Amino acid sequence: MAVTLKTVVLDSEKCIGCITCMRRCPTEAIRIVNGKAKILYEKCINCGECVRSCKGGAKRPVYDSFDLVKSYPYKIALPSPSLFGQFNNLDDPNYVIEGLLALGFDDVFEVGLAAELVTDCTKKLMRKNTLERPVISSACPAIAELIFLRYHELKDHLLNLYAPAKIAAKLAKKQAIEQGVPADDIGIFFISPCPAKVYSLHREEVSNEKYISGVLSQSDVYFRLVEKMNKIKNPRKLLRCGYSGLGWGSSGGESNSLGLGNYIHCSGARNVQGILAEMSDGKLDGADFVELNMCPGGCVGGVLNVENPFIARNRMRQLAEKLKIPPATMEQFGLDESFFLWDKAPEPSTSFQLDTDRFAAMQKLMKVEEYLKKLPGIDCGACGAPTCRTHAEDVVKSGGVLDCVKLREVK
């Protein structure tokens, strides 16, 4: 497996050093250094906002090559719910499943089906009342990363369950082994709508038992798939997930399937940060569930999709409304909670801190405040940092000197 812990890389030739991605980055993880946009990976949450905003296509999401699929004798595809919203005039989701089989996959395990099981497990845990309310969904890996980077005070609210893609991989592997396929022959490929899921699945695989063999890009698979789907007539009834599972592909789908009254769902980088801030001020204490998605509209808004997120959402809703399949349950699959629970909670990151030593951090902060009095506060970005404050913090951390066009003008 091509293990990579970078999900977005820069095509230096295409980068013209404009400040668009730097401004849009929700965690201030980009600087312009020597005229090129540099990602500070320790602050990056892999949300893909820089890919979305780059005008020149210089930000490249990293994912596994489709050729990797061929190297496994028994191949399983894990399509995400959002994939079903990408096709024009699709009136039956079974075409997608047949298309994946025609592409060379031996089996398909829908992530939407795993999502229904995650919903069932969430309901059980919420009934037990052992979770901190409001419970924050952990399905969007960029949100989980953001909380572990900047909102440590909310980390105990995160639902401690693996995301549906991982659960789908675990179940697909279990099923194949039960059918007698040798474990080494099994190749499991998630078809991802976003770089965050590419990153989180690869990272989990590094530290835990291996389930995922590769993570493919939804847009890469799309064109190969459409070609196959066009040749299919009268697809078999293979789809196993229903309304609830397909709904997970857009914002609100997960909350809706939980059947709760008091919940919030919200998407888009700025909006979710607003909700997280309100939560830490104690303003959402009455709510039961908070579903946050970094991409606008939910997973359909991920940068590895082909279709406009709102058009895709409309299509998915129409497809889902026709499905008469009841949501899957843990009992049906003979599973208990331990199948879903995190093996261990991720460690919070300290990269937002000025220093891991409190006294040293205070000294640095005083210096930052001193520099801020000198800087113009216009956040022009000309120094290569997104705001005057981040520039001051960078200088204090690196021990350099302030580099500001406005200050030079004054001289």
Partner 1 sequence: MDCIRLEYDVDGENFASAGNASESVKRTLKQLGIPPASVRRVAIAMYEGEINMVIHAHGGKAVAEIYPDRIDITLKDTGPGIADIGLAMKAGWSTASENIRSLGFGAGMGLPNMKKYSDEMDIDSVVGVGTTVFLRIRF
Tell me the closest approach of the beta carbon of residue 280 to partner 1, in angstroms.
Answer: 5
Q: Does 55 contact partner 1 by CB under 8 A?
A: no
CA nearest to 339, candidates 198, 215, 211: 211
DSSP 84-140: GGS-TT---THHHHHHHHHTT-SEE--HHHHHHHHHHHHHHHHHHT-SPSSEEP--S
Which residue type sits at 255? S
186-192/36-39 β-pairing: unpaired
Q: Does 150 contact partner 1 by CB under 8 A?
A: yes
Q: Does 232 contact partner 1 by CB under 8 A?
A: no
CB 105 within 8 A of CB 78: no
Q: Which is nearer to partner 1, 152 or 224 (by Cβ)?
A: 152
Stretch in the footprint of partner 1 (CB under 8 A) among 92-100, 148-156, 259-267, 400-408 = 148-156
Q: Does 405 contact partner 1 by CB under 8 A?
A: no
Q: Which is nearer to partner 1, 209 or 347 (by Cβ)?
A: 347
Q: Which is nearer to partner 1, 70 or 283 (by Cβ)?
A: 283
Q: Does 391 contact partner 1 by CB under 8 A?
A: no
What is d(CA 403, CA 392) in angstroms, rounded to the nearest whole number?
9
Tell me the closest approach of the beta carbon of residue 361 to partner 1, in angstroms.
Answer: 4
Q: Does 286 contact partner 1 by CB under 8 A?
A: no
Q: Please pick, from the candidates 9, 33, 206, 277, the single residue that binds partner 1 as defined by CB under 8 A.
A: 277
The site for partner 1, by CB under 8 A, has a size of 24
CB 316 within 8 A of CB 288: no
Tell me the closest approach of the beta carbon of residue 364 to partner 1, in angstroms.
Answer: 9
Q: Which is nearer to partner 1, 92 or 288 (by Cβ)?
A: 288
Which residues in the 302-361 window bind partner 1 by CB under 8 A? 350, 352-359, 361
Q: Does 43 contact partner 1 by CB under 8 A?
A: no
Indicate if the alpha-carbon torsion angle 373, 379, 381, 382 is positive or negative.
negative
Indicate if the alpha-carbon torsion angle 140, 141, 146, 147 is positive or negative.
positive
Question: What does each C-alpha distance from 361 to 40, 250, 393, 405 come to in angstroms?
Answer: 20, 41, 11, 27
Tell me the closest approach of the beta carbon of residue 277 to partner 1, in angstroms.
Answer: 6
Q: Which is nearer to partner 1, 111 or 269 (by Cβ)?
A: 269
Q: Does 262 contact partner 1 by CB under 8 A?
A: no
CA 170 to chain centre: 19
Q: Which is nearer to partner 1, 259 or 377 (by Cβ)?
A: 377
Peptide bond into 134 cis (omega under 30): yes
Q: Does 74 contact partner 1 by CB under 8 A?
A: no
Question: What does each C-alpha distance from 175 to 171, 183, 282, 292 come to in angstroms?
Answer: 6, 11, 44, 31
Q: Which is nearer to partner 1, 52 or 155 (by Cβ)?
A: 155
What is d(CA 90, CA 103) in angstroms, rounded to the nearest whole number?
18
Stretch in the footprint of partner 1 (CB under 8 A) among 13-21, 106-114, 180-188, 273-281 = 273-281
Tell me the closest approach of the beta carbon of residue 352 to partner 1, in angstroms.
Answer: 6
For residue 188, give the H/E element and its range.
Answer: strand 186-192
Q: Does 378 contact partner 1 by CB under 8 A?
A: no
Q: Please pick, from the candidates 36, 38, 60, 155, the single residue that binds partner 1 as defined by CB under 8 A.
A: 155
Which residue type sits at 268? G
Residue 330: HSE in the Cβ half-sphere, 13 Å Cα cutoff: 15
CB 396 within 8 A of CB 363: no
59-61/8-10 β-pairing: antiparallel
Q: Which is nearer to partner 1, 338 or 356 (by Cβ)?
A: 356
| 305 burial type by CB count under 10 A (0-12 exposed, 13-18 middle, 19+ buried) | buried
Q: Which is nearer to partner 1, 26 or 93 (by Cβ)?
A: 26
Residues within the interface to partner 1 (CB under 8 A): 150, 152-153, 155, 277, 280-283, 350, 352-359, 361-362, 365-366, 369, 393
